[in-house]
Amino acid sequence: MNILLSTSYFGPIHYYANICDAGEVFLEGFEHFPKQTYRNRCCIYSANGPLTLSIPVTKGNAHKIYTREIRIDYSYAWQKNHLRAIESAYRCSPYYLYYMDEIAPFFHHKFDFLIDLNSSILVKTCSLLGLAVKIRNTESFQKIGSGDMIDLRFAIHPKAQKNEYEPSFPTHIYQQVFDPKFGFIDNLSIIDLLFNTGPDAIQFLKP
């Protein structure tokens, strides 16, 4: 099974659950970049509850810019802020020391393009999960319903009313650092699952 996905910044658990069963993953780069999606944001579990981390991108009329052309804005220290937030949220998690050194380099190296950063994160994360999957970029815009790929580009969205993800996907509950305070929060960034479940993370991605 081949799937078509949007690019994603430390994507949510449902994003990686689909990758588990994929033969090949194609990342769409020729769409007009939509705002307020997982393409440049992720959600972690902080001491105050869910916390959204967003990558700033260069200003302009994003509706007329391809995703593959979106540049990252480094005019303020978002990398430092994101790294600090992740360290604060997960330093007490069981596998923090095991995985932090693996993801920390993404907050020190400056990628020019968002899609390049996200692709590198995806490759690293799949490796940490033990997922052997081929990842490719699209060479042109894929029309909805075209080809033999399952199209999930717009199916997984941070806004509940726009999330079209298959509701029958079982929620695998795992222990989270702050769940005694706020309870279990589903579909956070994949790093929440990695820091809390470690080598068992892949088992929580399977039906």
At residue 170, the pLDDT reads 62
Give the residue numbers spanning the domain of 63: 2-204
Half-sphere exposure (CA, 13 Å, Cβ side) for 80? 4
Residues 6+ apart with CB under 8 A from 61: none
At residue 164, the pLDDT reads 60
pLDDT digits (tens, 9 = 90+) for 124-165: 999 999 998 888 887 777 766 556 778 888 888 787 555 565
pTM, entire model: 0.90
At residue 61, the pLDDT reads 59
Half-sphere exposure (CA, 13 Å, Cβ side) for 196? 23
Contact 119, 112 (CB under 8 A): no
d(CA 71, CA 74): 9
- Domain count of the chain? 1
Task: Give the residue ranges of DSSP H helices in the chain.
Answer: 13-20, 78-90, 96-103, 114-129, 179-182, 190-197
Contact 126, 133 (CB under 8 A): yes
d(CA 14, CA 62): 26
pLDDT by position in tens, the chain (length 207): 788 899 999 999 999 998 988 888 888 888 888 888 999 999 999 999 999 999 999 866 555 789 999 999 999 899 999 999 999 999 999 999 999 999 999 999 999 999 999 999 999 999 999 998 888 887 777 766 556 778 888 888 787 555 565 544 567 899 999 999 999 999 999 999 999 999 999 999 987
Burial annotation 154-181 (CB, 10 A radius, 16+ → b, else e): ebbbbeeeeeebeeeeeeeebebbbeee
